[in-house]
Structure 1
Amino acid sequence: MTITTRAVRLLPWSAPDGKPCYLSSDGYGYVTRVADNVEAVQLGMAGDLLDHVGELLTDGEATPDQLRFALGCMSQALRDTKRIADSRGTRLPVPDDDPGTVDEEEDDSGGGEGPWLPAEAFG
């Protein structure tokens, strides 16, 4: 089994016109390190914001304007976090030939659900 990876990375920022930016590299250059740092900052800020919003909600004294502002910030943090997850998900190694995958047409198990193990796993 060989492992292949995709050659482009969705970057954690957009072009001035709002279109996504991509990087094609081996994953070890300067722009890659900058993107990694930006992602780390975005995730850290999202965590801090989550803590702040939790405090704001339990305060009982929060005004509608404060809650609206917090919701706007949370929306942006969630958008950033989703973009990071999408970017990292597309960079996961994809096996060319996964022995644990069963083609539905070849499935003779009688319709059972659950994970499949290769025959070698049984002995």
Structure 2
Amino acid sequence: MADVKEVSQMFEGSPPRLLPWTRPDGAPCYLSTDDPDGRLSVLADAVEGELLAAAEALLNETEVLPAGPGADLHAALRDVLRIAVSRGDRLPEPCDHGETRLCEGRTCCRVCRRQLYL
């Protein structure tokens, strides 16, 4: 299975986005686009939001078990959810220029050079 770095070399432009679903064989799916408003980008955003909400609901509905695998799984889910939310909060808001270009391997605004994606 290819990693993100290997997949990045297959695409032009911005780095590919790992999608929140897999192929039927379990392999990861990637999207190569500079359009955050494209159909697949919007769908992936919605699915990611649903997955985060489901993880949060599961975390809130389950009790913390005494020490053991259940407690470790609960703590791991809590930590991963906190990291995902934190990373999402750090994403910059897109500017209003609507023109993108590649800046040092990242997608930036062509006008103000503001980084649009991490």
Normalising by the smaller structure, the TM-score range is: 0.3 to 0.5
**Greater share of helix:** 1
TM-score after normalising by structure 2: 0.45
**Structure possessing the higher relative contact order (Cα contacts under 8 Å, 6 or more residues apart):** 1
Q: Which has the higher Rg, Structure 1 or Structure 2? A: 1
TM-score after normalising by structure 1: 0.43
